[in-house]
Chain A
Amino acid sequence: MSGRITIVLIEGSFLIRSGIENLLKELQGLHLVEVYDGSEKHLIEKINASKPDCIILNPEMIKDSLNSFVLSLNIEATLIGLLSNDTPSQIKSRFKYCLNINDDKHELINNFKKIIGFGKPNKNRGSENQSLSKREIIILKHITSGLTNQVVAEKLFLSVHTVMTHRKNITKKLGIKTVSGLTVYALLNKIIEIQEIDQ
């Protein structure tokens, strides 16, 4: 499941939610992680915690203003408005990207492909299917020998943030999330030797 794009959906209507879920199944690499109807407690915190690449939002579902909703998101996610022909234009204009529920299937899919194709989370989509880069292999080697992000960063003269970005990309490419999982991978591929782990 490498290179997948995670999506959170906020829509009150069961029928529309199911429709969107079906639509997303048609597009490879998309993964709907959470579905909300907008009435949930601590909705923003929940969205922030699941760190999606994309948020599909029916703006009518949120109690607060759209502005304060967007401002309280502390993640870099592509926001997609779930709108209809009847959505007032002042709301429509707030969204850079939108899906129109009145469109037919073909249009919806094309539209969606366009959005995720140009959207931020997809910037390095082309490279996701490739094997690890040299840099990533070095970082993997350090991490799996038990070093923390901080120490790896110091060793390689990188910022901790850069190390974390590399780690994220490694996980995306391999489909392995935990350090011990990565360790097994590194051993299998002779990136590290058993003795190095014990240090």
Chain B
Amino acid sequence: MRIEKDMKLADVIHHDFSLIPVINRFGIQLGFGESTIEEICDKRSVNTEFFLTILNTYHDPQYFPKKHLRSFPASTLIEYLRKAHQYYLEQKIPEIKELISKLTKESDENKDTYRLALNFFEEYQDEFISHLDREENFVYPYVVELEKAIEIGKVTSGLLGQMESYSINDYEDEHDNVEEKLFDLKNLIIKYLPALENNSTSYKILLELFDLEKDLREHARIEDMILVPKVEAMEFTIKKMSR
């Protein structure tokens, strides 16, 4: 399904409820009555085109935003990506960690074993945080600088130096590494941790892990499909400007 601006947001959520955390990132909460996407965006001063691009990219893996749909500023996109990071760090990761700690408490005989899973998750958490930090403190400011330079038509030598030492192309490669640990954790829980009498906590953890995995996959796709081409285009413009 292609999500369009005249659709009721409620209908869209019925169709794909995994979009709820995504719309939250735009400051939109449940309880939107009969309003259409356009009405909601206008009311909240959200860029409708941008909102639709994100929803569609997230909803449909086959969706590829056309060029004119990528016309919103990079800073808008960055703002969204930062919100998504905040959601992972402040909600998702603590929730999963809480559940794994609960598992440790529930297992009487195998406490040490389950503590291994917790340690493993904490290790994942550290790596994940440092990956996000790198994006927030290095990649995103770089993108914002590029956009500013184009806007005012002036390129600083610092920016050019940065462009030479780090091109956005390198960034695409960095994504896969964080995923592997999440994949391992799923298999550890499904296949290798000793069985508990009651599976409900393990099931909740797995639901959360599959959900986080999907969210991260779409997040990475938004970065690769929208951010990277945008930045490539800006890098190209700046190279021409500085000639």
CB distance from A175 to the nearest CB of B (A): 4
Q: Is the CB of B180 within 8 A of A184?
A: no
Residue of B173, B184, B191 contacting most chain A CB atoms (<10 Å): B184
A146–chain B nearest beta-carbon distance, Å = 14
Min distance, Cβ B103 to any Cβ of chain A, angstroms:
14
Report whether A181 and B184 are in contact in the complex, using a CB–CB cutoff of 8 Å.
Answer: yes
Is A108 interfacial (CB 8 A cutoff)? no
Does B192 lie at the interface of the complex (its beta carbon under 8 Å from any beta carbon of A)? yes
Q: List 21 A-B contacts (CB under 8 A).
A: A1-B187, A14-B62, A175-B183, A175-B184, A175-B187, A176-B184, A176-B187, A177-B183, A178-B180, A178-B181, A178-B184, A181-B120, A181-B187, A181-B188, A184-B117, A184-B120, A184-B184, A187-B113, A188-B192, A188-B193, A189-B192
Query: Quick check: A188 and B116 within 8 Å, CB to CB?
Result: yes
The answer to whether B123 has its CB under 8 Å from any CB of chain A is: yes
Name which residue of chain B comes closest to A177, CB basis. Answer: B180
> Is B46 an interface position by the 8 A CB rule?
no
Residues of chain B contacted by A185 (CB below 8 angstroms): 188, 192
CA distance A185 to B189 in the complex (A): 11
User: Closest residue of chain B to A194, judged by CB?
Assistant: B112
By a CB distance below 8 angstroms, the chain B residues around A178 are 180-181, 184
Question: Which B residues lie at the A interface, using CB under 8 A?
Answer: 62, 113, 116-117, 119-120, 123, 173, 180-181, 183-185, 187-188, 191-194
Interface pair B187/A188, CB less than 8 Å apart: no
Those of A1-52 within 8 Å (CB) of chain B? 1, 14, 18, 49
> Does B187 contact A180, Cβ atoms closer than 8 Å?
no
Report how far A184 CA is from B122 CA in the complex, Å. 13
Knowing A14-B62, A49-B173, A187-B116 touch, does A180 contact B181 (C-beta < 8 A)?
A: yes
Chain A residues whose C-beta falls within 8 Å of the C-beta of B120 in the assembled complex: 180-181, 184
Q: Which of A14, A18, A176 contacts B188 (CB 8 A)?
A: A176
In the complex, which residues of chain A have a beta carbon less than 8 angstroms from the beta carbon of B113?
Answer: 187-188
Contact (Cβ within 8 A) B184 A177: yes
Complex partner residue of A181 from B173, B185, B193, B194, CB under 8 angstroms:
B185
Beta-carbon contacts of A167-199 to B below 8 Å, as 1s and 0s? 000000011111011001101110000000000
Report yes or no: B191 in contact with A175, Cβ–Cβ below 8 A.
yes
- Beta-carbon nearest neighbor of A18 in chain B: B62
Q: How far is the CA of A27 from the CA of B180 in the complex (A)?
A: 24
Residues of chain B with a CB closer than 8 A to A1's CB = 187
Residues of B within 8 A of A177 (CB): 180, 183-184
* CA distance in complex: A188, B194 (Å): 8
- Closest Cβ–Cβ distance, residue A155 to chain B (whole Å): 25
Question: B112 CB to closest chain A CB, in angstroms?
Answer: 8
